[in-house]
Every structure is written in C-alpha cells, then in structure tokens.
C-alpha cells in the first residue's frame, strides 16, 4: 500500500510521515491547493493506492476576510481530489472540523446532526464535505477538533510560550470540546485507509480526544504536566472577542468511528504527555 498525502509540514501531515513509510507527502511546491485541477491531475497520475488530504486553510479569523480563498483550498480542492479518486476507485480521507456546527447543542454532536457554521472557515470546510460526498467514491470525512502537536502553531505551544513570561493568564472557559493530538488523528486516518482498502464502507465520522474540557481546563493540564507555575482564571468568550465566532459546544459523539473502524476515542491527557516529551527532545 502507498498513500498519497496532500500536505507535508502541517501537524497531521507531519505525523503521517512519522508513523508510516508508505506515505508520499506533497508540499505546496508540488501540490498547490489553490489549483484544484492540478491536485486532481496528480491523483490521476499517481501509483498510490489511497489518498489523504491533510492540507487546509486553517487561519480561522483571517478566513473572515479571505473566504473565497479559504473555500478554494478547503472546498474546491478536496472536492476535485475526491472526484479524481472516485474515477480510479481510490479510498479518500478528508479531515474536517467541529466548526461545521454552530455550537448551540447542549449534548455531543452526532454525525447526522444539522450543520450550521458560524463563520467562513466552517463554511469552507463544509463545502469540502459536500463535494467529497457528491463525488460518489470511497471516502471518509473525519471531523475533529482542537488539534495540537509538537509541530506548527497550536494551543499547547502558545500556552508554553506565554508561560515563559507570564505567571497568570485568563482563558476562555465557556467553550467545551475535545483536544485532539495530531498523532492520534494521523493514526486514525491510517487505520481508516486500511479499512476502506479492505472494503469497509465509509462515510462521515467524528474523532476527538476525551474527556471533554474547557480551554481553561485544557490550559491548566498543560501547565500541570509541564511543571509551569501559571494561574489560570476563567473568563467568558465575550471577554475575549475574535473576528470569527467559535462554537460554544464542540463536543462530538465518536461512537460511529469505533463501531465501523474499531477506533476508540483517545485520552488527550496521555497524548499531551507524549507531545510535551516530544518538545523536550
């Protein structure tokens, strides 16, 4: 098996390369997602037996000003990839997001719950989901949340950086979700590819770390595990305004993924410990 991966330096793409020697990772210089047709052409020519799209426009706030660009990268490009995969009957995995929901539910989101993105980023990812489904091939859409790793920009690395100069921080406490390590997402993607290749039917799935927590409690655990003496005070989202609205409830029901692919929800606290050790090294 060989897996063509769109993305090379992002959090999940980096972990895919670390975990599998079967991965052929394409950077922006080889596969520009602003050119969906060129991405499709690469799939038409590849000898790979499966495709994972691990590249995306992820600047949530900036997307409010660049929605057209975000929609090409997150919507049109994966749609074109999925169509090219369908022509060749290649399994395709598309990583999506909790931002396709509006966060208004008081219970974990189910896969079949109505979507209603609050902002441009969520709309662009939803466009990708619709295109992947419409392509009619073998696919899995993996919605995930609060991604962190030792690579790139993420909440864990931001908290560690701030702790170098601050002994007290105010963190939003009324947004609840499941922090998810990029390494866990990569492992899930690889297992899904194996299942799809073996004939398992796919669909849309949720995957996030457990237990669900607030950003404030996530920060507390980061500081505790990193032995950083930082006091965290809870604040509401209203006290930390951002250009793009965030879902208040990002909790996701992940049981479908376990039922279909035997992929259990990972404990993000254990994954955090591994990431912190990775950063030390």
Beta-carbon contacts of residue 62 (< 8 Å; ≥ 6 apart): 243
Question: What is the predicted pLDDT for the residue at 180?
Answer: 98
Residue 136 belongs to a domain with what CATH number? 3.40.50.720
Is there a domain that residue 167 lies in? no
- Concatenated DSSP letters of 58-86: --TTGGGT-HHHHHIIIIIHHHHHHHHHH
Considering the entire predicted model, what is its pTM?
0.96
Catalytic residue numbers, as ranges: 121
Q: What residue numbers bound the domain in which 203 lies?
A: 3-152+178-211+250-267
Is there a domain that residue 227 lies in? no
Question: What is the predicted pLDDT for the residue at 233?
Answer: 97
* Number of residues that make up the chain: 281
- Number of structural domains (the chain) is 1
Is there a domain that residue 127 lies in? yes
Q: Based on the number of CB atoms within 10 Å of its own CB, is 178 exposed (0-12), middle (13-18) or buried (19 or more)?
A: buried
Is there a domain that residue 235 lies in? no
Is there a domain that residue 219 lies in? no
Positions in the chain short of pLDDT 70? none
Question: What is the predicted pLDDT for the residue at 114?
Answer: 97
Question: What is the predicted pLDDT for the residue at 110?
Answer: 97
Is there a domain that residue 124 lies in? yes
Is there a domain that residue 223 lies in? no
- Concatenated DSSP letters of 1-50: --EEEE-SSSHHHHHHHHH-TTEEEE-TTT--TT-HHHHHHHHHH---SE
User: pLDDT for 131-188, tens place per residue?
Assistant: 999 999 999 999 999 999 999 999 999 999 999 999 999 999 999 999 999 999 999 9
Is there a domain that residue 8 lies in? yes
Question: What is the predicted pLDDT for the residue at 73?
Answer: 98
Question: What is the predicted pLDDT for the residue at 1?
Answer: 85
Other Cβ atoms less than 10 A from the Cβ of 136: the count is: 11
Q: How many helices (H) and strands (E) are present in the chain, helices listed first?
A: 10, 12
């Amino acid at each position: 098996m060989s897996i063509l991966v769109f993305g090379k330096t992002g959090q999940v793409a980096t972990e895919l390369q670390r975990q599998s020697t079967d991965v052929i990772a394409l950077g922006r210089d080889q596969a520009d997602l602003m050119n969906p047709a060129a991405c499709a052409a690469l799939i038409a020519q590849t000898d790979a037996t499966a495709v994972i799209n691990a590249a995306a426009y992820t600047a949530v706030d900036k997307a409010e000003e660049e929605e057209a660009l975000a929609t090409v990268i997150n919507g049109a490009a994966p749609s074109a990839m999925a169509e090219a995969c369908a022509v060749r009957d290649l399994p395709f995995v598309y990583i999506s997001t909790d931002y396709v929901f509006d966060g208004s539910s008081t219970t974990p989101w189910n896969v079949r719950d109505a979507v209603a993105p609050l902002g441009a980023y969520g709309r662009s990812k939803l466009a990708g989901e619709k295109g992947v489904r419409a392509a009619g091939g073998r696919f899995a859409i993996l919605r995930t949340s609060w991604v962190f790793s030792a690579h790139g920009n993420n909440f864990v690395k931001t908290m560690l950086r701030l702790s170098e100069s601050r002994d007290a921080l105010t963190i939003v406490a009324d947004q609840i979700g499941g922090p998810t390590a990029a390494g866990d997402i990569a492992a899930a993607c690889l297992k899904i590819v194996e299942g799809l290749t073996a004939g398992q039917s796919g669909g849309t799935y949720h995957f996030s770390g457990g237990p669900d927590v607030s950003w404030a409690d996530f920060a507390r655990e980061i500081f505790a595990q990193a032995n950083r003496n930082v006091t965290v005070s809870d604040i509401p989202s209203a006290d930390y305004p951002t250009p793009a609205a965030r879902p208040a409830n990002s909790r996701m029901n992940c049981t479908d993924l376990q039922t279909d692919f035997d992929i259990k929800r990972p404990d993000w606290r254990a994954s955090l410990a591994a990431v912190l050790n990775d950063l030390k090294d």
